[in-house]
Amino acid sequence: MVTEGVDIIDVGGESTRPGAVQIGDAEEIDRVAGVIELLVREFDVPISIDTSKSSVAREAVAAGVDFVNDISGLKFDSAMAWVAASSGAGLFLMHTRGRPERMQHDTSYADLLTEVETSLRSSADQALRAGVAKDKIALDPGIGFGKDLKGNLSLVNRLDRLAGLGYPILLGTSRKSFIGKVLQQDDPAARLNGTLATIALGVDRGAMLFRVHDVHPVREAALMAWAIKNAD
């Protein structure tokens, strides 16, 4: 990933895919601690910790992590905002509906875009009140987290509205099941072409950060889309 031009390496010790069961704080820390230590020692690349637990984030930041990536948008553990504020770490705040083990049980919304926008604004405001600097916050609409196929497509299509909140938008579409449903591709590793389409459209609609598996091709797609967007 470093050779292919990654800007941030995201480390997670607990699965957040739909249906995943939560693990304990100690086990999660044990899973990520050694990896973080190695990355800090071997590479000059910023690191984020993918966790919704403040205790895990605290240990990770102490070990040298630069960003906290909270899929709950501070809703699972309110102390997370304090950890980011007191440490100076950047904060990625995502929208989801419920914990992973139940988040796909209810994917119906009266107005998905408004709910996501309102929730992300609330998460950002909570972080600001805790003392996190505004320029340390980015927002993630949570593609695949408590949304159905139509909802995921609509969110990617309307990212420009979320960008209007005034924070960088992080988009995580890489290899996700909604791409597989559109392309009728069951193998996640074979969803690169679909992923690249979402990256290019994401750039066009204001996304600035992309959480991906295939660093080199996605980076090139993003750079090309950025060049076209800014040609005039």
180 exposure class (CB count in 10 Å sphere: 0-12, 13-18, 19+): middle
Burial 65-98 (b: 16+ CB within 10 A, else e): bbbbbbbbbbbbbeebbbbbbebebbbbbbbbbe
Yes or no: is domain 9-229 CATH 3.10.450.230?
no
Q: Which pLDDT does position 19 carry in this prediction?
A: 72
Q: Over the chain, what HEC string results? A: CCCCCCCCEEEECCCCCCCCCCCCHHHHHHHHHHHHHHHHHHCCCCEEEECCCHHHHHHHHHCCCCEEEECCCCCCCCHHHHHHHHHCCEEEEECCCCCCCCHHHCCCCCCHHHHHHHHHHHHHHHHHHHCCCHHHEEEECCCCCCCCHHHHHHHHHCHHHHHCCCCCEEECCCCCHHHHHHHCCCCHHHCHHHHHHHHHHHHHCCEEEECCCCHHHHHHHHHHHHHHHCCC
Mean pLDDT of 187-191: 97
Residues forming beta bridges with residue 9, ordered by sequence position = 47
Cα–Cα distance measured from residue 140 to residue 218, given in angstroms and rounded to the nearest whole number: 18
The ranges assigned to domains in the chain are: 9-229
Cα–Cα distance measured from residue 140 to residue 119, given in angstroms and rounded to the nearest whole number: 11
Cα–Cα distance measured from residue 156 to residue 151, given in angstroms and rounded to the nearest whole number: 9
**Exposure of 78 in the CB half-sphere (CA atoms within 13 A):** 5
Q: What is the pTM of this model?
A: 0.93
Given a contact cutoff of 8 angstroms between Cβ atoms, the answer to whether 5 and 215 are in contact is: yes
Per residue in 27-85, pLDDT tens? 999 999 999 999 999 999 999 999 999 999 999 999 999 999 999 999 999 899 999 99
Mean pLDDT of 107-133: 94
Backbone angles phi, psi at 209, to 5 degrees: -130, 145
Given a contact cutoff of 8 angstroms between Cβ atoms, the answer to whether 40 and 77 are in contact is: no
Mean pLDDT of 200-215: 98
Q: Which residues are catalytic?
A: 176, 211
Banded pLDDT at 102 (limits 50, 70, 90): low
Per residue in 142-163, pLDDT tens? 999 989 999 999 999 999 999 9
